[in-house]
Each structure stands twice: as structure tokens, then as C-alpha cells.
Amino acid sequence: MSSRRPDALAQVSDFDIRLLRIFRSVVECGGFSAAETVLGIGRSAISQQMSDLEQRLGLRLCQRGRAGFSLTEEGREVYQSSLQLLGALESFRTEVNGLHQHLRGELTIGLTDNLVTLPHMRITHALAQLKERGPDVRIHIRMIPPSEVEQGVLDGRLHVGVVPQATALSGLEYQPLYSERSQLYCAVGHPLFYVDDRQLEDQRLNEQDAIAPTFRLPAEIQAHYQALNCTASASDREGMAFLILTGRYIGYLPDHYASFWVQQGRLRALKATTRFYDLSLASVTRKGRRPHLVLESFLESLEATR
């Protein structure tokens, strides 16, 4: 029965690469004995691993014995090919490490409106760090209602969003960022604008035309709106501000957002010690998302600024 030559390598495994590295060192050192110090293993172990490589390749790579070490013709060709392969692996490693140092790509963020006026707002700082780390990163910000932010993250149109934290939607991950306080406001021209809080009864307050948001809120915050006479609605805080500034409605606004008009004397908070709520805002990403180095870098920066 004739002997059968081993099949050519179907694929190069980690084991093969390790053997090829040893083979390269042996060739460059000029033999097994000289390679012992470089490789940190004994001559017998080197000999065994060279035998393993020859068996894997089905080729005789070198002559060893009293006449000394020398490469066969096949050994010289395998050595040249191994240099190309190991060089390509090193280039790949260098390029991947470079991606970590020099980010490239895009980041699309969906934000609830009017977060930029938060004194402790961390998104700006995280974006600055991302741009410093990856000057070529392209950032796209979408200012849209919270429900659209969550849907955009779910369907992949957005990489990440920031929304008021309510009941978690299946398929999304939420990471708390910060809290903002909202107070009940009215504007110049409203009948309650000049009424002292001490004379302002809750019943009279609850009878005023008010604005309700259409985006999701926790149940304990929804109770604040249920106590009011909500005859109008808005999909975002800017829409609520528009209606409040007409002087015909009362409504809740984040204090950091309303402060501009308060300082101008155009808005005032009604019963500020009792009519307020604190709302948590969270970053939202899709569960099971594919690896995205730019996104992960942004999330790391966001976490680091806490």
C-alpha cells in the first residue's frame, strides 16, 4: 500500500503561527542551539516543534545533524512565505491598535431638546473627549422627541440617545446620567403672574389651562400633570415653553431651561417649594448591538465624566 502525502493546510491556526514564529527564529539564529536563548526553550523542545511543523506542512524544512543546520529548498520557500504572513499579522495588529488611538467613523446621537443649558451636562464634555481622541470622527446630532429617540436607537438609525428615564423598553439598555428639576411656570400676562404664592390656593392653580407632554414619563411624575387642567399638549419642552410664554397656559419646565426667561422677568415659578419634580435622564443604547469603537469610546467618556 503506497504512502499518501498529507493534504495541504486547509487553514492556518494559532498553533501553526506559533510554530512558524519558532521556525523563523531558528532560521535567523542559524540552528537549534543558537535559538535556545532567544526562544527561552530547550533544544529538544525546539526539535519537537520543528517536527510538528514539518508534519503539519508535509514538507522537510531543514537538515540537522553532524553536518550542521541547513534549510532544504522547500524550507527556504516556507521561510520566505512565513516572513510575509508574520509581517502581515504584525501590520494588522499595528493598524488595529492605531484604530484605538485614532478613531474613525460616525456617531449619530438622538437628544431630547434643551439639555445643553444643564450646568452639569456631561454630553458636551464626552463629545469633546471623543473629538480629541478621534479628530476624523463625524458626529451627527438629532434633536427629536424622546419617543423618537428610543425608536431610532431600536431600529439602528441612532447609535445612542439621551431621554427622560421612564419605563424601560424591551431591547434597550439605559444608563442614568443626571437629574434635572422642573418647576411649574406661568408668563407675564397670565392672571397668576403677580399673585403671591401665599394667596395662591391649589384649587385655583389646578383650574388654570395647562400643558401636558406627550412623551413618556414615570408614573410619579405623570401625577403632577394629572392634578392640572391640561387642555394643550406638546411633544417636547420647547413646545411647552412656546405655549407658556403666550401668557395663557401654565406648565412645567426644567429650571435650567426656564432661567433665561426668569432673569428677564418673563416667567415665574408658581409655589416653587411644592410644585416641582426631579426627572432622571439616561443614555440609551440597543441591547446586543454590534461592536462600534466610536460609540464605545463615547460611552466610556460619558461614564468617566460622572
Locate cell 424601560: which residue? Answer: 168
Please give the model's pTM, rounded to 2 decimal places: 0.62
User: How far apart are the C-alpha atoms of 34 and 168, rounded to whole Å?
Assistant: 64
pLDDT at 119 (0 to 100): 62
Residue 80 CB burial class (10 angstroms; 0-12, 13-18, ≥19): exposed
Q: What per-residue confidence (pLDDT) applies to 306? A: 60
pLDDT of residue 84: 87
Give Cα 64 distance to the centre of its chain. 55
The residues, any chain, with a CB within 8 Å of residue 297's CB and separated by 6 or more, are 103, 130, 133, 134
Continuous H helices in the chain: 14-29, 32-39, 43-57, 73-101, 123-133, 146-154, 202-207, 219-226, 237-244, 255-263, 293-304
In the numeric block, the cell 464626552 is attached to: 126
Tell me the three state secondary structure of residue 268: strand
pLDDT at position 200 is: 92
Cα gap 302→263, rounded to integer Å: 31
Q: Please work out, in degrees rounded to the nearest 5, the angle formed at the alpha carbon of residue 98 by the alpha carbons of 136 and 16.
A: 145
Residues with pLDDT less than 70, the chain: 1-10, 94-102, 114, 116-121, 305-306
| Domains parsed from the chain with CATH numbers | 14-82 (1.10.10.10), 102-305 (3.40.190.290)
How many whole angstroms separate alpha carbon 160 and alpha carbon 255?
25
CA dist 55 to 5, 73, 137, Å?
10, 17, 48
Other C-beta atoms within 10 Å of 188: how many? 14
Q: How do beta strands 209-213 and 138-143 pair?
A: unpaired
Burial of 258 (0-12, 13-18, 19+ CB in 10 A): buried
For position 5, what pLDDT does the model report? 47
- Return the CA Rg of the chain: 34
